[in-house]
Amino acid sequence: MALKSFKKIVMAALALSLSAFLVMPVQAADNAGADERVVARGGDNYIDGFDPVFYANQYPDVRAAFGTDPALLYQHYLLCGKAEGRWPNAAGPAGTSTAASSSYIDGFDPVFYASKYADVKAAFGTDPALLYQHYLLCGKAEGRWPNAAGPAGSSSTTVVTQPTGLLTTAGTYLPEEYVYNKIMGRKNVPGYTEGTYYTNGTHYYNTVSCEGYGPGHFLGMGCYGYMMDMLEYATDYQCPIVQIPASWNNLPVLHVGDSPRTNNDQHTVVITEVHADGHTVTVTEANYNSSVHWGRVIDLANPSTGLVYIDTIWAR
């Protein structure tokens, strides 16, 4: 039905029984102009927490037809908007919450996604369908978070826990997402791509403190040097690497960037993903069959993994 015809019907209905609806005063914003915003707010008498201010600002086609009259906007929502999936307020579609929805893969949360990524919101607004399409086609591959739990893995059962803080030399805080994106950003960089030749003959000297040794005084070879290089780069060369005790039956809370020493003190890997069980991880590593490798999944709680300690950048 065309909006103009719909408006005539609604106006006629309102003329017969205007008292049946909550009518509220509307005033222009202080900075009124071509992109004027409505400042009046809705009341508790609306179903689904309908907010006429949000509705008018969110849907310019509806506003062009009905202006900022709360009663007309509410009628449009009741008779058309709800069925069309339009949002009654900033929380999202009726009957949902800001929590991640099981109807989306990876527990995608459109409200979280729009608020976290300003560039996506600027391009697609808060339309959940468009935001979800962006995540599926671009965001997931870019390492963007589908919800507050962290970057997604191969299924919705994969989450990354949020750390309490980073050890930094500059007193700054780097979120886990930042570390994840930096590490994964190297996956297609020459020297770090899958299959690149990498053995104990490849050396790396520390730039920041590593296990208590000052810059330039700790030589890492092969897998260990790869770990040092990766963690220093991922934290912009401002987080010391420290060693913490760990074993298959005594695991700390794991984070992206943690680097378990496995194979009974023979091999170091860098965690890129922590699975929901808290002990299964996806890793990147070097000197694995004499090369760089991405994506191997290991269970650190399995005694056969041979975990002896963890090198980490995270405060414990």
Burial class (CB in 10 A: 0-12, 13-18, 19+), 78: middle
The CATH label, of 3.40.1000, 2.60.40, 3.90.1720, 3.40.50, for the domain at 176-312 is 3.90.1720
Q: Where are the domains of the chain?
A: 3-81, 100-159, 176-312
Task: Please report, in tens digits, the pLDDT of each residue of the chain (316 residues total).
Answer: 455 555 555 455 444 433 333 333 332 223 323 223 233 334 445 677 788 888 888 888 888 888 888 888 888 887 888 777 788 877 666 654 444 455 677 778 888 888 788 888 888 888 777 787 788 777 887 778 887 777 765 333 333 333 344 544 444 567 788 889 899 999 999 999 999 999 999 999 988 888 888 888 888 899 999 999 999 999 889 888 889 899 999 998 888 999 999 999 999 999 999 888 889 999 999 999 999 999 999 999 999 999 999 999 887 6
What is the pTM for the complete model shown?
Answer: 0.50
259, 272, 274, 261: which is closest to 314 by C-alpha?
259
Are 273 and 258 contacting, i.e. CB atoms less than 8 angstroms apart?
Answer: no
